[in-house]
Amino acid sequence: MRAQAEHWRRDGLRIAVVPTMGSLHEGHLTLLRAARAAADLVVLTIFVNPTQFGPSEDLARYPRDEAGDLRKALPTGIDCAFCPDAASMYPPGAQTFVTVRELELPLCGQSRPGHFAGVATVVSKLFHLTRPHVAFFGEKDFQQLAVIRRMVRDLDFGIEIRGVAIVREPDGLAMSSRNAYLSAEERVQALALSRGLAAAAAAFAAGERAAEKLLAAALAPIAAAPLSRIDYVELRDAEELSPVEQVTRPVVLAMAVWVGKTRLLDNRVLRP
């Protein structure tokens, strides 16, 4: 992969990369189309990265469908799919990790310790292997995007990081490979997340700026969904991810909510 990327670079071609864990849906395809419009060569990476899963998480049952993924991705005009296996990405003795100290800690970092070190490490490796000029990530994983932006800045990767807005199902549910785990009843109750965000956004549009009130608006639909269990629902500064009590700068209302046995993420940026 690296030899090919170096070859493209010597020819003066601009490379875009879209890192994914496969099980592609319209959200991933939107990233690929944005990449297609921004570069000469689009590299899709598919790698279910073991180091970003905790010991009791869903690594073994994470949905995998490489042939289906390639069928979906090809019409977006990708030039290359890089699908390494875990043994080649992490040979015996691998012990080097990238950590983004502060940004890893809140939100998803609370319930998934080590997750973002796994993400930052594998994204570093994928950047070194694919040698991109520009890389695309979804705002759906808001904290991941913040972590990667900071890593790229702090470690002088010299890669442009572009965020892509959350792609949703027609009824508002944020698209996710993990939505496939939901039963019919859970799928209905999963709408509580986007409804909560919409309620908070409506309150914000009506002038509400107090975190407590905005969070209360977001929490109401979730409290009314009996199959849901909150991991976190928080209002944080959109860049530093620090806690916010009164909105004076762009903030993110971010949530992780279990619906049955599936942990779902959603968020919405509020800009005064």
Q: Return residues touching ligand AMP (CB under 6 A).
A: 20-21, 27-28, 31, 137-138, 140-141, 164, 166-167, 174-177
Q: Is 25 a catalytic residue?
A: no
Nearest residue relative to ligand AMP (C-beta): 138
Which of 176/189 has CB closer to ligand AMP? 176
Which of 8/142 has CB closer to ligand AMP? 142
- Say how many C-beta atoms besides its own lie within 10 A of residue 4's C-beta: 17
Task: Say if residues 123 and 148 touch (Cβ distance below 8 Å).
Answer: yes
Query: Least distance to ligand AMP from the beta carbon of 59, Å?
Result: 13
Query: Least distance to ligand AMP from the beta carbon of 39, Å?
Result: 16
Query: Least distance to ligand AMP from the beta carbon of 245, Å?
Result: 28
Taking CB atoms within 8 Å and a gap of at least 24, the contacts of 151-159 are 151/98, 151/100, 151/120, 151/123, 151/124, 154/100, 155/98, 155/124, 157/124, 157/127, 159/127, 159/132, 159/133, 159/134, 159/135
The active-site residue out of 7, 25, 28, 133 is 28
Which of 26/245 has CB closer to ligand AMP? 26
Query: Is 113 in a helix, a strand, or coil?
Result: coil
Q: How would you classify residue 215: left for phi > 0, otherwise alpha for psi between -120 and 50, otherwise beta?
A: alpha
Which of 136/204 has CB closer to ligand AMP? 136
Query: Least distance to ligand AMP from the beta carbon of 165, Å?
Result: 7
Task: Say if residues 89 and 117 touch (Cβ distance below 8 Å).
Answer: no
Q: Which residues are catalytic?
A: 28
